[in-house]
Structure 1
Amino acid sequence: MAETLDELGLFEEKMLTYTSSLAIFVGVSVAALTYYLIRVVKKPLLITGSSRCADFLQRRCPVLVQEYYPTVWCFTSRAHTIVCSVLAELTTWKLPPYRREILDMPDGGELHLDWLEHHSNSHHDNRTRPIIIILPGMSGHSGSHYIINLAKATSKKGYRSAVYNHRGSNGVKLKNNRYYCAADTTDLQHVVAHIRSLYPDAPLMAVGASLGGMIIFNYLAKFGKDCGLVAAMVMSMPWNTFKTTESLEEPLNRLLFNKYLTFGLTQHLRQNREVFDKDSRVDVDHALKSSTIAEYDERFTIKVFGFESVDHFYTLASACYKVSRVQIPLLSLNAADDVFAPLCSIPTEEIKKNPNIALVVTSHGGHIGFGDWLFPSRESFMDKLYQQYVDAVFKYGQEGHIEAHVQK
């Protein structure tokens, strides 16, 4: 009898412990969910200097008037950026059926375009089917998960895409000592002219992520209305290279991102060092010892491109100094917690003065993350906005501020 009472007492004690633990778990979960729903889930902020543009975008891009639910288990932008990137790469099983085109550049170099066609005649014929040039980020290429998502989405919408692989990227060695950087728009100019010569009657748009976005912005600022594009979109684009560098130099960001990206840059240089060993402007061994992007730029980038200094390079690369020069419709998507593009670096007041630019800022999302709810492998907020925006440009441009550009 005593043993039975002891066992009953032990059982009651275990149940009490279990109940207490469950109550704590439920309480913490409810508190976390409440915080998430109240403080994290928010509608994106839309900033533009044109009320007509704002009305058009909100009507044709429904995600802009809906709450965005960032990935719930990413409590910081760093986690959002890393986890979404890693898991998305793991869930990328195969490449789309790209058709590769090799462009021989005037300087002797080589550039690869990976085309993803759409052969349906439901909306456009081959002659007039809209085309989107997709520019990856610093270490990206046509096999990167976010680029694959953009290319597939383009095809699904009935359009044609051409992924612009930066020189020497995607496992392809450089043919000469010509490289790429955010301030150099020569290659993009060549690609736009090439595609327009192939399809002169097809509307052409450019989309870029991170460094790819910087190249597009600088291209638009340089050529204005003569850029050959009807519209453009940039995602997670750093607006101020100086402030981006400062952010990446912070201890945790330096450990998580700066060193990783610098390692990729130096590995790329190591794989192509034979074309630079003969270049008297560059000390390859010194550049390979770089531990940060700023060091790499000082030892390699400014030497190859002939910039006077790193400050000179960063000034030319920064979009924040050229906002007024953009003369075609441009949509920029940024996250307020992106360590590569700190919120304080975005020139919102200047953007309000240019009716051609629309800025969308989400409260969370990290850098090229924008994971949606639980699973980063599903369609992200960035993917949704991209699909809706390209449709807005090519199908409904006559309703908005892009009418003249599309008709042209």
Structure 2
Amino acid sequence: MPVLEDGDMQTFGSELPAMFDGMKLAAVAAVLYVIVRCLNLNSPTASPRIISRNTLLSRYLFKSCPMLSKEYIPPLLWGKSGHLQTALYGKMGRVNTPTPCGLRKFLPMKDGATATFDLFEALGEHSTGDDVTMVICPGIGNHSEKNYIRTFVDYSQRQGYRCAVLNHLGALPDVELTSPRMFTYGKEG
């Protein structure tokens, strides 16, 4: 059986700080790797792949909106990660959410439902000089009073767009539901 002498213990003791430094370095490298992966910092940018029929409308849209086929290069840190955008907006968006002023319109439907949309006038001139209306259909069960819609409407108004925002049936807390139907994108019946 081997016997350890005093000289052997000193040798082992001097290796411990170097081993812990290596573990710290490995931990830092692992954390950096996770950050790079979670923020998608190494994801390549590319032009979108658009699949459509070659129609008069699609040609008009691509001609009118050349940015649809351009490569999107997001801001470095938060632009590539939807998770980080959601977390940041969850904190910052609640503090500084604009409150655009608009006019609510009520549209009675044949089945007794009352569809509503809010109309917001442009606050600036559109880059083309035209009078342009943007129709915004929020996600299911959402409406023009949600923070993300208010922020988008405010930005769009400042870019010269008039905005019409569909309010889903039953989504607005202060508008009575007049039919058993709670969702519509405009189809009657």
Q: Which amino acid aligns with 1:101?
A: R
Cα distance in 1 for partners of 2:109, 2:37 equals 59
TM-score (norm 1): 0.33
Alpha-carbon distance between aligned partners in 1 of 2:71 and 2:60, rounded to the nearest angstrom: 11
Q: How many residues were matched structurally?
A: 170
* Matches of 2:136 and 2:185, distance apart in 1: 17
The 2-side partners of 1:130 and 1:55 are apart by: 14
* CA positional deviation for 1:48: 2.9
- Of 70, 84, 93, the residue aligned with 2:80 is 70
Q: 1:113 aligns with which of 111, 114, 117?
A: 117
Change (3 A) 1:31 1:164: closer
Contact 1:58–1:64 (CA under 8 A) maintained in structure 2: no
Distance 1:55 1:163 in 2: 21
Structure 1 unaligned blocks of 5 or more: 1-5, 75-79, 187-304, 306-408
Residues 102 and 113 in structure 1, CA contact (< 8 A), matched pair in contact too: yes
Counterparts of residues 93-132 of structure 1 (less than 5 Å): 93=95, 94-107=97-110, 109-120=113-124, 129-132=131-134
Tell me if structure 2 keeps the 8 A contact 1:100–1:112. no
Offset from partner CA, 1:38-79 (integer Å, 9 cap, x none)? 5x43423222333984994698207732456630xx6xxxxx
- Code of the aligned partner of 1:138: I
What is the rounded CA distance, in whole Å, between the counterparts of 1:97 and 1:141 in structure 2? Answer: 13
Q: 2:138·2:149 contact (CA, 8 Å) conserved in 1?
A: yes
Kindly indicate whether residue 25 of structure 2 is the aligned counterpart of residue 19 of structure 1. Answer: no
Q: How many angstroms apart in 1 are the aligned matches of 2:179 and 2:128?
A: 41
Pick from 158, 161, 182 the counterpart of residue 159 of structure 1.
Answer: 161
Find out whether 1:140 has 2:142 as its counterpart: yes
Q: Percent identity?
A: 18
Q: 1:13 to 1:143 in 2, by over 3 A?
A: farther
The partner residue of 2:67 within 55, 61, 68 is 61
Report Cα offsets for 1:194-222 as digits up to 9, x if no partner.
Answer: xxxxxxxxxxxxxxxxxxxxxxxxxxxxx
Following superposition, the deviation at residue 15 of structure 1 comes to 5.2
8 Å contact from structure 2 (residues 126, 159) kept in 1: no
RMSD: 4.4
> Which residue matches 2:173?
171
1:42 & 1:141 partners in 2: Cα distance? 32
Alpha-carbon distance change, 178 to 163 in structure 1, aligned in 2, over 3 angstroms: same
The secondary structure found in structure 1 opposite 2:142 is coil
Residues 18 and 87 of structure 1: CA distance in aligned 2, closer, same or farther (over 3 Å): same
Q: Would the aligned equivalents of 1:114 and 1:142 in 2 still touch at CA under 8 Å? A: yes
Alignment partner, residue 323 of structure 1? none
Q: Contact conserved, 1:114 with 1:162, CA < 8 A, in 2?
A: yes
Residue 27 of structure 1 and its aligned partner are, at CA, apart by 5.6
Corresponding position of 1:191: none
Which letter does structure 1 place at the counterpart of 2:114? E
Answer whether contact 1:142 1:163 (CA < 8 A) is retained. Answer: yes
In the TM superposition, what are the counterparts of 1:206-355 in structure 2 within 5 Å? none
- Match of 1:48, SS? coil
Which amino acid counterpart does residue 152 of structure 1 have in structure 2?
D
1:212 corresponds to which residue?
A: none
* CA shift for structure 1 position 171: 1.0
Question: Equivalent residues in 2 for 1:41-60 (5 A)?
Answer: 41-43=44-46, 44-50=48-54, 53=59, 56=62, 60=66
Q: Which has the higher contact order (CA 8 A, sep 6+)?
A: 1
Contact 1:95 1:143 in 2 (8 A): no
In 2 relative to 1, CA 169–31 (structure 1 residues): closer, same or farther, beyond 3 Å? closer
Q: 1:154 Cα deviation (Å)? A: 1.6
Task: Give the C-alpha shift of residue 169 in structure 1.
Answer: 1.4
**TM-score, scaled relative to structure 2:** 0.62
How far apart, CA to CA, are the structure 2 residues paired with 1:59 and 1:67? 17
Cα deviation for residue 181 of structure 1 reads 3.1
Q: In the alignment, residue 24 of structure 2 is paired with which amino acid?
A: S
Alpha-carbon separation, structure 1, partners of 2:125 and 2:186 = 37
Q: Higher helix fraction: Structure 1 or Structure 2?
A: 1
Report the secondary structure of 1:131's partner residue: strand
C-alpha change, 1:21 and 1:157, in structure 2 (3 Å) is same
Other structure's SS at 1:65 match: coil
Deviation at 1:135? 1.3
Cα deviation digits, residues 140-187 of structure 1 (max 9, x gap): 11132332233123212111112111222121343422524357523x
Q: Is the 8 A contact 1:133 1:163 kept in 2?
A: yes
Greater C-alpha Rg: 2
Partner-residue secondary structure (3-state), 2:51? strand
